[in-house]
Amino acid sequence: MYYKIVMKILVTNDDGIYSPGIAALAKMARKFGEVQVVAPDVEQSSMGHAITHSRPLSYRKSPIHFEGIEAFRVNGTPADCVALGAHINNITDVVLSGINMGPNLGNSMWHSGTLAAAKQAVLLGMKGIAISTPVGKSEPDFGALEPYVERTLDLLLGTSGLCLFNVNLPPRPKGIKWTRQSVRFYDGKIVPGMDPMGRKHYWFTITPLEPAEPGTDRWAVENDYVSITPLRLDLTNEEELAKNQQKQLV
Ligand code: MN
């Protein structure tokens, strides 16, 4: 007997369920399997890998923007959406997170809610792929990105094992590159301002202080290539560990 294996895909994001980026990704993902959307009800950008533990979570059907695709909105973080989504539909093979309206390159991987959703997927035994694109004055041209998202998914969905990938697409891609994360010093500057009532408030701004090194994610996107960075969850500094293990502990 022949069984057709359909890939079960959970689509989420950190911009919230009403973002045009998630609607575009859910439609593109349909070519690769059965899609279900579970996403935050409001924007959760830069929330990192936060999970909700001190109040209950709930979800509601949210069919707007997702013709024919089952979609739910959640009063929680991107990582919550992955955990809850995997619970609602207990067979999930892969989590696609995005398409984020803004890049998630280099240092920003540490803050990204988009990437955190993909990380949560891997922690729970699924494959996780985060997808982001820079946004200028107008919305991204998702039609121009579609062939490259498809090519990237073709490439990544075929790999076996628990895999975590961070994908960033430039507005007009001319190819795809495998890259490493560009971790460079950056300027996390606090800019003070004044509200209409004369009270002080503050904006957190981020500017990289050094140019991107070739072979990195930032370099690829600056040079119009789609960047795919394979990641791992183990943060151990192997070099430091090996060096210190030589020393005698008293
Ligand atoms: Mn975002």
If you measure from the C-alpha of residue 239 to the centroid of ligand 1, how many angstroms do you get, rounded to a whole number? 33
pLDDT of residue 91: 87
pLDDT of residue 206: 77
% helix, strand, coil for the chain, step of 5: 30, 30, 45
If you measure from the C-alpha of residue 47 to the centroid of ligand 1, how many angstroms do you get, rounded to a whole number? 9
- Residue 4 burial by Cβ neighbours in a 10 Å radius (0-12, 13-18, 19+): exposed
pLDDT of residue 64: 82
> Vertex 71, ends 130 and 232: CA angle to 5°?
20
Quickly count: other Cβ atoms within 10 Å of residue 210's Cβ: 10
- Return the structure tokens found at 128: 């996780």
Q: How do residues 31-75 score in pLDDT, each as one tens digit?
A: 999 999 999 999 999 999 999 999 999 999 998 889 899 999 999
Q: How do residues 131-166 score in pLDDT, each as one tens digit?
A: 999 998 889 999 999 999 999 999 999 887 779 999
Domain boundaries, the chain: 8-183+212-245
If you measure from the C-alpha of residue 102 to the centroid of ligand 1, how many angstroms do you get, rounded to a whole number? 6
If you measure from the C-alpha of residue 39 to the centroid of ligand 1, how many angstroms do you get, rounded to a whole number? 12
If you measure from the C-alpha of residue 73 to the centroid of ligand 1, how many angstroms do you get, rounded to a whole number? 16
pLDDT of residue 238: 95
CATH number of this structure's domain 8-183+212-245, picked from the four choices 3.40.50.10490, 3.40.1210.10, 3.40.190.10, 3.40.47.10: 3.40.1210.10
If you measure from the C-alpha of residue 218 to the centroid of ligand 1, how many angstroms do you get, rounded to a whole number? 17
Place of tokens 């394979």: 230
pLDDT of residue 5: 80
- Return the structure tokens found at 79: 């990582």
Q: How do residues 86-118 score in pLDDT, each as one tens digit?
A: 999 878 999 999 999 999 999 899 999 999 999
If you measure from the C-alpha of residue 54 to the centroid of ligand 1, how many angstroms do you get, rounded to a whole number? 24
pLDDT of residue 79: 98
In the predicted structure, residue 186 carries a pLDDT above the cut 80: no
If you measure from the C-alpha of residue 114 to the centroid of ligand 1, how many angstroms do you get, rounded to a whole number? 6
8 Å CB contact between 12 and 37: yes
If you measure from the C-alpha of residue 235 to the centroid of ligand 1, how many angstroms do you get, rounded to a whole number? 23
Confidence of residue 127 (pLDDT cuts 50, 70, 90): very high
List residues, by chain if needed, whose CB lies under 5 Å from ion ligand 1: 14-15, 45, 100
In the predicted structure, residue 1 carries a pLDDT above the cut 60: no
Confidence of residue 4 (pLDDT cuts 50, 70, 90): low
Q: How do residues 205-248 score in pLDDT, each as one tens digit?
A: 877 778 889 999 999 999 999 999 999 999 999 999 999 998 87
**The dihedral sign for the CA sequence 24, 25, 28, 34:** negative
pLDDT of residue 3: 61
